[in-house]
C-alpha cells in the first residue's frame, strides 16, 4: 500500500518537490494550498484548497487520511501554519519534515536595513516622502497606512482588494520568476527610492534585491520569524529525508 504524504505548499519548492515524487508508486501525494491565490500555478499532484481549522483540524485530517509523513513546505513567513503543523504532528505521531529555503544574505554593495516586523519596516522608511517598491503579501499592507506621505509601488499576484487608505500608489499585477534586467528597468522607470521586502529567500524573487544593489537603492529587509532548526533547505535534501522517514516496506 502506498504511503500517504501531505505537502503543505504554496511555494516554488513545494511544487518542485511534488513533481519529483508524483510518479512514485510507493507514495500517494496530496498538495495543500491555502487558497489565497485566485489562479494558482498548475500542480503535478492532487490539490486540496483551504485551511484545516487550526492544529486540531489538521490533526483530524492526518488521522482520517492516514497520513504517513507531513511535509511543511510553506512560505518562510507562514509562521501560523508551520506552528499548527508541528502541533498536529505531535498530537498524531505523524512524522514531520520541514523544507525551508535558505534566506538571502547581504553581499558587498547591498544597503540593507534589517527590521523584525513590517511595522518597523514602515518606520525605517523615514519621515521624508519617498517612492517605495513594496513586495509584501496582500494581507500585509495595512501598516503602510501609517506613512501616507510616501508613494507606493505595490506588486502582487492578485489584485489588492480592498485597497489600503493611502493617497498615492501604483499597483502592478505580476508573477515571478523575475529577471534582474527587467527589475532594474522597473525600479528606474518608476523612480523608486527604496525597497521594502521580506527575506523570503529563493531565486524566484531575488532579482529585485540584485537590481536594487546594482542601482544603489537601499532595501528595508524584514527578518524571518524564528524557524525550525531541523529544517532541510533544498528539494534534494527533502527527498533524501523523506526516504529516511518512511517506514520499511513490508
Give the model confidence (pLDDT) of 232-241 as tens digits.
Answer: 999 999 999 9
* All CATH 3.40.50.720 domain ranges in the chain, comma separated: 3-102+226-245, 112-222
Mean pLDDT value of segment 29-47: 82
Proportion of the chain above pLDDT 90, given as a percent: 80
Mean pLDDT value of segment 185-191: 97
- Residues 207 and 195 sit within 8 Å (Cβ to Cβ): no
CB crowding 151-164: b at 16 or more within 10 Å, else e: bbbbbbbeebeeee
Whole-structure pTM over 0.85, yes or no?
yes
Class of domain 3-102+226-245: alpha beta
Could you give the CA distance from residue 29 to residue 46 in angstroms, rounded to a whole number?
Answer: 7
User: Which superfamily, per CATH, for 112-222?
Assistant: NAD(P)-binding Rossmann-like Domain (3.40.50.720)
Say which residues have a Cβ less than 8 Å from residue 244's Cβ, sequence separation at least 6: none
pLDDT at 41 over 60: yes
CB crowding 205-228: b at 16 or more within 10 Å, else e: bbbbbbbbbeeebbbbbbebeeee
∠ Cα 13 41 197 (to 5°) = 60
Amino acid at each position: 500500500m502506498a504511503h500517504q504524504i501531505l505537502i503543505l505548499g504554496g511555494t516554488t519548492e513545494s511544487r518542485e518537490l511534488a513533481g519529483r515524487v508524483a510518479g512514485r508508486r510507493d507514495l500517494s501525494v496530496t498538495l495543500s494550498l491555502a487558497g489565497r491565490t485566485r489562479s494558482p500555478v498548475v500542480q503535478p499532484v492532487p490539490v486540496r484548497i483551504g485551511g484545516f481549522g487550526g492544529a486540531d483540524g489538521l490533526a483530524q485530517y492526518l488521522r482520517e487520511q492516514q497520513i504517513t509523513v507531513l511535509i511543511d513546505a510553506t512560505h518562510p513567513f507562514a509562521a501560523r501554519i508551520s506552528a499548527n503543523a508541528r502541533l498536529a504532528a505531535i498530537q498524531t505521531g505523524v512524522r514531520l519534515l520541514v523544507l525551508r529555503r535558505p534566506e538571502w544574505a547581504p553581499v558587498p554593495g547591498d544597503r540593507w536595513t534589517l527590521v523584525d516586523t513590517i511595522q518597523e519596516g514602515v518606520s525605517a522608511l523615514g519621515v521624508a516622502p519617498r517612492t517605495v517598491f513594496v513586495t509584501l503579501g496582500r494581507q500585509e499592507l495595512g501598516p503602510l497606512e501609517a506613512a501616507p506621505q510616501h508613494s507606493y509601488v505595490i506588486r502582487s499576484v492578485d489584485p489588492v482588494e480592498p485597497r489600503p487608505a493611502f493617497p498615492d500608489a501604483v499597483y502592478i499585477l505580476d508573477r515571478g520568476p523575475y529577471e534582474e534586467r527587467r527589475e532594474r528597468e522597473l525600479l528606474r522607470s518608476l523612480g523608486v527610492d527604496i525597497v521594502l521586502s521580506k527575506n523570503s529567500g529563493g531565486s524566484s524573487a531575488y532579482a529585485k534585491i540584485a537590481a536594487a544593489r546594482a542601482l544603489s537603492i537601499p532595501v528595508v529587509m524584514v527578518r524571518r520569524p524564528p524557524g525550525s532548526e531541523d529544517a532541510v533547505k533544498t528539494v534534494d535534501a527533502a527527498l533524501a529525508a523523506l526516504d529516511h522517514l518512511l517506514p520499511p516496506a513490508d
